[in-house]
Every structure is written in C-alpha cells, then in structure tokens.
C-alpha cells in the first residue's frame, strides 16, 4: 500500500511538473496559448468591472479605445512573429507577445479602476 501511494505521488508530480516545465516546442507552444487564455480572461473581468463604473460617454470612449488597442496588439504580435515565419517557435513568439501586451493592458485598466475607487 505504501509503495502504491508513493508510486501514485511520483506519477502525479511527474505529470504536473511536465506541464510546468515544458520541454518540447509543442509543449512550450501549448503553455504559451494557455497563458494567453488566462490573461485574456483576466482582461475581460477587469474590463467589465471598469465598464460598470463609467457613464455612457466614458463607456463609448472605452469601447473605442479597447477595439483600437486590440487591433494594435494583434498587429504588433503578427509583426513580431513574422521574423520566425515557418518555424516551430512562431506560435510561442506570437502567444507570448499577446500575453505580454494583454498583461500590460490589464495593468492600465486596473490603474484606471483604482483611480475611480478613490
């Protein structure tokens, strides 16, 4: 029983650690995609909180700004990944760029939200 528990614990830790420390390019690409999805989800949550605090004019301005920001982010990351066109690292470059830009935008929106809470 003790050996079974130890074996299961080792198996769990191994499967968990391979996700944290991706070794193949495909694993790194997948991790980058998952990181972007998490950042995008957080962005949407912060955005919704901010929208609730705005008047109608401010909402319209934020919607326009957000659409423009998304276009900028997407075109910036398309540019950055182009250097690696055809390479297996291209998705990693692309999704890392998307994640970094999104995290920066989250900080901007959180700052705006905090300023309104004062």
| 49-89 confidence digits (pLDDT tens) | 999 999 999 999 999 999 999 999 999 999 999 999 999 99
Inter-residue contact 94 to 74 (CB < 8 Å): no
User: Does residue 29 carry a pLDDT above 70?
Assistant: yes
Residue 81 neighbours by CB distance under 10 Å: 20
Between 51 and 15, the more confident residue is 51
pLDDT attached to residue 65: 98
pTM as predicted = 0.80
User: Does residue 12 carry a pLDDT above 90?
Assistant: no
Inter-residue contact 112 to 50 (CB < 8 Å): yes
| 43-53 confidence digits (pLDDT tens) | 999 999 999 99
Q: In the numeric block, which tokens belong to residue 25?
A: 């390019």
Inter-residue contact 49 to 113 (CB < 8 Å): yes
24-117 adopts what CATH topology? Substrate Binding Domain Of Dnak; Chain:A; Domain 2 (1.20.1270)
Cβ density class 17-46: b for 16+ within 10 Å, e for less: eeeeeeeeeeebbbbbbebbeebeebbeeb
């Amino acid at each position: 029983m003790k050996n079974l528990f130890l074996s299961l614990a080792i198996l769990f830790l191994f499967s968990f650690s391979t996700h944290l420390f991706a070794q193949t390019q495909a694993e790194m690409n997948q991790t980058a995609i998952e990181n972007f999805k998490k950042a995008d989800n957080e962005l949407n949550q912060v955005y919704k909180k901010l929208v609730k605090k705005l008047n109608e004019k401010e909402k319209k301005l934020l919607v326009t700004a957000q659409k423009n920001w998304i276009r900028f982010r997407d075109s910036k990351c398309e540019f950055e990944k182009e250097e690696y066109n055809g390479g297996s690292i291209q998705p990693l470059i692309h999704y890392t760029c998307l994640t970094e830009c999104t995290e920066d935008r989250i900080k901007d929106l959180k700052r705006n939200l905090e300023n309104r809470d004062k």
